Amino acid sequence: MLTFITLLSAYLIGSIPSGLIIGKTFYKIDIREHGSKNLGGTNTFRTLGVKAGLTVTIMDILKGTLATFLPLMLGVEMSLLLAGVFAVIGHMFPIFANFRGGKAVATSAGVILAYEPLFFLIVLIIFFISLYISKYVSLSSMIACLLALIYSLVFHSDDWALIIVIGILTIFIFYRHRANIKRIIDKTEPKVKWL
């Protein structure tokens, strides 16, 4: 029963719609009606600016981090990463926002941050290098998660829980970016202008 409560709580934490809260509270804007109509940090950057975008991205990362720590906080013997996966599912399909959520990147990063901070830092560096070169947030997110999977296979070959979860998160991220992939191929995907 406690395991169920932990996973449900992780999902509910992940379901907190950071972009919707920040947009409606401080800007009187529903970001689902603007830009890519996505609740994540990237659309918040484009729609509401840097301050709002950073705030939402940090909130989304911390959702994954907090949810991953839930088993420890509640004294439940289960994989921390499993709770993190449920937070990511909540972020993608939030019950508090009619199941229209984000693309799983920031919350997935938060799961990694909780599990291994150095791994998080490496993934973050990879993301920004890719972003500097390509100017595509979506492409950089997908490259970062692919390299995270390779990193886990090479440097954590004995940690199958981590490898499986990174694999699942990679599938989530690619699935949620399928429209972006088409736009990148068609050369219609927006590029960042500040880098």
Given a cut of 80, whether residue 153 has pLDDT beyond it is yes
Q: Is residue 192 part of a domain?
A: no
3-17, 53-67, 152-166, 180-194: least confident range: 180-194
Q: How far apart are CA 78 and CA 187, in angstroms?
A: 44
User: If we measure between CA atoms, which residue out of 43, 65, 165 comes closest to residue 114?
Assistant: 65
Within-domain flag for 176:
yes
Are 168 and 123 a contacting pair, CB within 8 Å? Answer: no
Reference 94, options 178, 150, 14, 184; nearest CA is 14
CB 55 within 8 A of CB 22: yes
The first and second tokens of residue 45, run together, are 């950057």
Residue 18 lies in a domain: yes
| 63 domain-assigned | yes
> Taking all residues of the chain, what is their mean pLDDT, rounded to a whole number?
94
pLDDT in tens, 5-26: 999 999 999 999 999 999 999 9
Whole-model pTM: value is: 0.93
Q: Is residue 119 part of a domain?
A: yes
Range of the domain at 154: 2-186
List helix spans (H) across 31-176.
41-48, 50-74, 80-92, 105-115, 117-134, 137-155, 160-176
The per-residue pLDDT for 192 is 85
* pLDDT > 90 fraction of the chain, expressed in percent and rounded: 86
The CA distance from 178 to 176, in Å, is 6
What is the mean predicted confidence (pLDDT) over 173-191? 94
Q: What is the pLDDT of residue 187?
A: 92
- Torsion region of 187: left, alpha or beta (phi above 0 gives left; psi -120 to 50 gives alpha): left
pLDDT in tens, 95-144: 999 999 999 999 999 999 999 999 999 999 999 999 999 999 999 999 99
Q: What are phi and psi of 88, to 5 degrees?
A: -65, -40
**What number of other Cβ atoms are within 10 A of residue 178's Cβ?**
8
Residue 193: per-residue pLDDT = 79
Could you tell me if residue 195 is inside a domain?
Answer: no
Q: Is residue 191 part of a domain?
A: no
Number of domains forming the structure of the chain: 1
Local structure of residue 190 (DSSP, 8 states): P
Distance CA 66, CA 62 (A): 6
